[in-house]
């Protein structure tokens, strides 16, 4: 990609390789495959990279999401991983869908991963409108090379949401089980349960042939879903997540 030299945070391919700990050939392959785009200032110029892209790729996105979710003094995430409103999320969701479509081996199943991301991200906005506890919007980052997608919000969490229609729910573990297993009909916020039940169906369905893992935490309860396994592994956690936190591995 040819660009004018207006970006003060650009680095050479050699600098990028050193930061990421990969070879120049690897970076060239990633560029060709669309996994990490470079840009050039002239048609005959050398590859350069946006330092923001390199720094994000070198970080552990799940660690960033977890730290933000659990923070007692949170700040808005960096713009590249922060969707302040649903329109920004939908635009970035479309971007990752295009990247998944181009990724080898996912030609027939990229839409399923995209659907999981859509359900989790849209749920955060749909059920926290006007009720964000501190920072509105969601953390949304992905690393195509590591095949990871992380989402988090600092909303009310599933227990508070579902207690409106299931006042007998006592803790986060119960709420998490209901959200991923029971079909709750009716108007918002009940649809949250339906969305996460759909996510579980995609991941545990044996017909897809996909290898997907989902870690999902709300409050102090977390579950792990694995492709082809319908069991719900729900455990109480020592750390507390305000809102919801999710990591998708594929």
Dump pLDDT digits (tens) for 120-135.
999 999 999 988 999 9
Contacts of 26 (CB under 8 A, 6+ apart): 17
Give yes or no for a contact between 213 and 227, defined as CB atoms under 8 angstroms apart: yes
pTM above 0.85, yes or no: no
CA distance 234 to 174: 9
Q: What pLDDT score was predicted for residue 208?
A: 60
As a whole number of angstroms, the distance between CA 181 and CA 248 comes to 19
Strands 213-226 and 138-143: unpaired
List CB contacts of 54: < 8 A, sequence separation 6 or more. 11, 16, 19, 20
What is the distance between the alpha carbons of residues 80 and 8, in angstroms, rounded to a whole number?
Answer: 17
- State yes or no: cis peptide before 189, omega within 30 of 0: yes
CATH tag for 60-249 (out of 3.20.20, 1.20.144, 3.30.565, 1.10.238): 3.30.565
Q: How confident is the model at residue 7, as a pLDDT?
A: 47
Query: Does pLDDT of 43 surpass 60?
Result: yes
Kindly state the percentage of the chain with pLDDT values over 70: 90
Read off the pLDDT of residues 55-89 as tens digits, 9 standing for 90 and up: 777 788 998 999 999 898 999 999 999 999 999 99
Asked whether the predicted pLDDT for residue 116 surpasses 70, the reply is: yes
Fold of 10-57: Multidrug-efflux Transporter Regulator; Chain: A; Domain 2 (1.10.1660)
Q: Across all residues in the chain, what is the average pLDDT?
A: 87
Between CA 211 and CA 216 the distance in angstroms is 17
pLDDT higher than threshold 60 for residue 109: yes
Using CA atoms, how far apart are residues 124 and 248, in angstroms rounded to an integer? 16
Contacting residues for 91 by C-beta, under 8 A, at least 6 apart: none
**Residues 19-24: what's their mean pLDDT?**
86
pLDDT band at 207 (very low <50, low <70, confident <90, very high): low
Q: Are 70 and 64 in contact (CB under 8 A)?
A: no
What was the pLDDT predicted at 215? 96
191, pLDDT greater than 50: no
Q: Where are the domains of the chain?
A: 10-57, 60-249
């Amino acid at each position: 990609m040819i660009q004018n030299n207006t970006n003060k945070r650009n680095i050479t391919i050699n600098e990028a390789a050193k930061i990421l700990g990969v070879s120049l050939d690897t970076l060239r392959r990633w560029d060709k495959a669309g996994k990490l785009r470079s840009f050039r200032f002239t048609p005959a110029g050398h590859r350069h990279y946006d330092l923001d892209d390199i720094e994000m790729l070198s970080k552990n996105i799940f660690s960033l999401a977890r730290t933000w979710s659990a923070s007692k003094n949170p700040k808005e995430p960096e713009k590249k991983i922060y969707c302040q409103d649903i329109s920004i999320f939908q635009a970035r969701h479309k971007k990752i869908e295009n990247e998944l479509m181009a990724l080898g081996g996912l030609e027939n199943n990229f839409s399923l991963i995209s659907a999981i991301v859509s359900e989790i991200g849209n749920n955060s906005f749909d059920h926290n409108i006007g009720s964000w506890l501190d920072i509105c919007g969601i953390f949304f980052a992905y690393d195509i090379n590591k095949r990871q997608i992380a989402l988090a919000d600092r909303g009310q969490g599933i227990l508070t949401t579902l207690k409106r229609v299931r006042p007998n729910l006592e803790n986060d573990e119960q709420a998490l089980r209901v959200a991923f297993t029971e079909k709750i009909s009716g108007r918002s916020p009940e649809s949250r349960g339906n969305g996460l039940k759909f996510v579980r169906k995609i991941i545990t369905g044996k017909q897809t042939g996909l290898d997907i893992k989902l870690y999902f935490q709300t409050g102090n309860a977390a579950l792990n879903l694995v492709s082809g396994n319908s069991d719900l592994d729900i455990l109480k956690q020592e750390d507390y997540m305000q809102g919801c936190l999710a990591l998708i591995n594929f």
